[in-house]
Amino acid sequence: MAAYRSAAGFQRVLHAVKHVCFSKQRCGVIICRYSTVYDPNEKTFDKILIANRGEIACRVIKTCKKMGIKTVAVHSDVDSSAVHVKVADEAVCVGPAPTSKSYLNMDAIMNAIKQTGAQAVHPGYGFLSENKEFAKRLAAEGVTFIGPDTHAIQAMGDKIESKLIAKAAKVNTIPGFDGVVKDAKEAVKIAGEIGYPVMIKASAGGGGKGMRIAWNDEETSDMGFFLSGHISDICANGFCWCLQVLADKHGNALWLNERECSIQRRNQKVVEEAPSTFLDPDTRRAMGEQAVSLANAVKYSSAGTVEFLVDSKKNFYFLEMNTRLQVEHPITECITGLDLVQQMIRIAKGYKLQHKQSDIPINGWAVESRVYAEDPYKSFGLPSIGRLSQYQEPLDLPNVRVDSGIQEGSDISIYYDPMISKLVTYGKTREEALKKMEDALDNYVIRGVTHNIPLLREIIVHPRFVSGVISTKFLPEVYPDGFKGHMLTAGERRELLATAAALYVAAQLRSQKFLGDLRVSVVPAESRQWELCVELDKSVHMLGVSRSGNNYTVSEIVQNITSLVEIDGEKVEVSGEWNLASALLPITINGKHRTLQCLLRTAAGEISLQYLGTSFKLRVLSKLAASLSKHMPEKVPEDTSSILRSPMPGSVVAVSVKPGDNVAEGQEICVIEAMKMQNSMTAAKTAKVKSVHCKAGDTVGEGDLLVELE
Is 356 an interacting residue with respect to another protein (CB under 8 A)?
no
- Distance (Å, whole) CA 39 – CA 67: 7
Among positions 467, 489, 521, 529, the unique one binding another protein when judged by CB under 8 A: 521
Is 529 an interacting residue with respect to another protein (CB under 8 A)?
no
Q: Which is nearer to another protein, 513 or 695 (CB)?
A: 513
Is 580 an interacting residue with respect to another protein (CB under 8 A)?
yes
Give least dist CB 511 to another protein, A. Answer: 5
Nearest 5°: the CA angle 350, 355, 356 is: 120
Report 392-411 residues binding another protein (CB under 8 A). 407-410
> If DSSP codes are grouped into helix, strand and coil, which group holds residue 619?
strand
Among positions 12, 33, 47, 299, the unique one binding another protein when judged by CB under 8 A: 12
Q: How many CB atoms lie within 10 A of CB 635?
A: 5
Kind and range of the H or E run holding 369: strand 365-372
Is 81 an interacting residue with respect to another protein (CB under 8 A)?
yes
Is 631 an interacting residue with respect to another protein (CB under 8 A)?
yes
5, 59, 324, 370: the catalytic one is 324
Among positions 557, 569, 592, 637, the unique one binding another protein when judged by CB under 8 A: 557
Is 636 an interacting residue with respect to another protein (CB under 8 A)?
no
Give least dist CB 386 to another protein, A. Answer: 11
Which residues does 86 contact at the CB level (< 8 Å), separation at least 6? Answer: 11, 14, 15, 18
Q: Which is nearer to another protein, 387 or 676 (CB)?
A: 387
Is 225 an interacting residue with respect to another protein (CB under 8 A)?
no
Report 366-395 residues binding another protein (CB under 8 A). 387-391
| Contact range with another protein by CB under 8 A, out of 211-219, 233-241, 620-628, 688-696 | 620-628
Which residues does 313 contact at the CB level (< 8 Å), separation at least 6? Answer: none
Which residues does 703 contact at the CB level (< 8 Å), separation at least 6? Answer: 645, 646
Among positions 27, 490, 520, 542, the unique one binding another protein when judged by CB under 8 A: 520
Amino acid symbol at 277: T
Is 625 an interacting residue with respect to another protein (CB under 8 A)?
yes
324 counts as catalytic: yes
Give least dist CB 34 to another protein, A. Answer: 28
Direct distance between the N- and C-terminal alpha carbons of the chain, in angstroms, rounded to an integer = 68
Contact 369, 269 (CB under 8 A): no
Among positions 150, 562, 629, 678, the unique one binding another protein when judged by CB under 8 A: 629
Is 20 an interacting residue with respect to another protein (CB under 8 A)?
no
Bin 664: left if φ > 0, else alpha if -120 < ψ < 50, else beta. Answer: beta
- Distance (Å, whole) CA 268 – CA 209: 9
Is 599 an interacting residue with respect to another protein (CB under 8 A)?
no
Helix axes 453-461, 430-442, angle to 10 degrees: 150
- Distance (Å, whole) CA 14 – CA 4: 17
Backbone φ and ψ of 606, nearest 5°: -75, 130
CA 509 to centroid of chain Cα atoms: 39
Q: Which is nearer to another protein, 624 or 664 (CB)?
A: 624
- Distance (Å, whole) CA 247 – CA 245: 7
Kind and range of the H or E run holding 58: helix 54-66
Give least dist CB 407 to another protein, A. Answer: 6
Give least dist CB 313 to another protein, A. Answer: 52
Residues within the interface to another protein (CB under 8 A): 11-12, 15-16, 77, 80-81, 387-391, 407-410, 510-517, 519-523, 554, 557-558, 579-582, 603-605, 621, 624-625, 628-629, 631-633, 635
Catalytic residues: 324
